[in-house]
């Protein structure tokens, strides 16, 4: 995915690419969630789910903005360190 962001960002803004990726991910997961029958998380976990979604969206957006400006090897090395953080 990181290798495809760089050439795509030459023609489209990275945040647009991020939104397209999120929309495609939602479109792919929606049939699974409908089949399971649970689209809205349980009441006790909604705050945690929303905060995780916000942090995930922020991390993905910043990653997509930074990828075009870094060498690909450096970006992948930084990506491999993400479990440490």
pLDDT tens-digit map of 19-71: 999 999 989 988 988 888 877 777 888 889 889 989 999 989 998 998 888 88
15 closest CA partner among 54, 67, 51: 67
53 closest CA partner among 26, 81, 83: 26
| Long-range pairs, 7-11, Cβ under 8 A, ≥24 | 9/64, 9/67, 9/68, 10/68
Question: What pLDDT shows up at residue 4?
Answer: 86
**Which residue has better confidence, 25 or 2?**
25
Tokens matching residue 41:
């998380």
Cα atoms found within 13 Å of the Cα of residue 26, Cβ hemisphere only: 9
Question: What pLDDT shows up at residue 55?
Answer: 93
């Amino acid at each position: 995915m990181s290798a495809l962001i760089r050439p795509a960002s030459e023609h489209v803004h990275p945040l647009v690419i991020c939104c397209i990726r999120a929309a495609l991910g939602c479109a792919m997961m929606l049939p699974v969630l409908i089949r399971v029958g649970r689209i809205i998380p349980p009441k006790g976990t909604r705050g945690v789910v929303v905060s995780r979604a916000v942090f995930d969206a922020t991390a993905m957006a910043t990653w997509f903005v930074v990828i075009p400006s870094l060498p690909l090897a450096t970006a992948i090395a930084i990506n491999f360190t993400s479990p440490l953080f």
